[in-house]
Structure 1
Amino acid sequence: MSDDHRIHPSKVAGDRASLTAFLDYQRATLAMKCQGLTGEQLKQQAVPTSDLSLLGLVRHAAEVERSWFRLVLNAEDCKPLWPRISGELAEFRVDDADVDEAWVLWREACEGSRAAADAVESLDDTVGFRGEVISLRYVLTHMIEEYARHNGHADLIREAIDGEVGE
């Protein structure tokens, strides 16, 4: 993981620029954790106590991007990319998953999320969703938290696969 091409967020930017830069940084971190691995390694459930895989995290990130930015923020009719199976999140079931498709869908979801955020004038603008009022500020902050948590998982999975550790 020595090829760190992430853009580090500014230490003096305003709120919106900081939030969007930190979210992009977390997105880039997930991609960096996966770089250089084969499709089989990306599918590997490398931590004995967990069913998580790096590919499952990428697929989950695509779903979360779509749900928060398209479904919640834009009120789009956004069907899951991988429908639930017996109540479980199907994006984590990767045995037969198409690795290239997952990356394409994740990148498309990220681009769609950036466009949705850019279309909102203020961080404080709100939408109603299932009886709650949600601001763009909340969505961006939640997404940073979502990626940061799963990037911690990705650290452990990657280390178990090939010993690579990193930021």
Structure 2
Amino acid sequence: MNDTFDLRLDTLRAAYVAGETTPRRLIAELRDKAAALNPEFKLFIHLLTTEELEPYLAALDARSPAELPLYGIPFAIKDNIDLAGIPTTAACPAFAYTPETSATLVEQLIALGAVPLGKCNLDQFATGLNGTRSPYGECRNSVHPDYPSGGSSAGSSLAVALGVASFALGTDTAGSGR
């Protein structure tokens, strides 16, 4: 995959309509890219496996970009927001639980055709301001390695900045998202 591939919604829709790529191909490439970046940047706590991605991709197989406004759009989820069947940790392994249902917003995004790529790293319990307080590792800045990535939603911002998601969900506990 081209490291500078444009993940904006209009660009992806045009690429899907023109047959230049498919959600399966794009998501596989982005998942591989995220897996390669994760050891250095620590952006994901849980990157969905091929098997975990399958239901989302299979739901798009019989659909077209014209039917769903977010058809095949990759997104990431801060790991204090639930995705059904995937552990939510809030960056605290002792707190981890596996929800049976997704958060309402996550369900709505998936129903509109978006595909979750994984659960992003964060300052533990979303109580930090710079992305360095996680037992899953410090989120390194995407541009300057001597600086933190910033905010408790650091992994979410990295997923977008590093080009593995079109958008990412985050939270703003005390100004950390700003």
Q: Normalization by structure 1: what TM-score?
A: 0.29
Q: Which one has the largest radius of gyration?
A: 1
RCO higher in structure (CA 8 A, sep ≥6): 1
Q: Flag the structure with higher strand content.
A: 2
Q: Flag the structure with higher helix content.
A: 1
Q: Normalization by structure 2: what TM-score?
A: 0.28
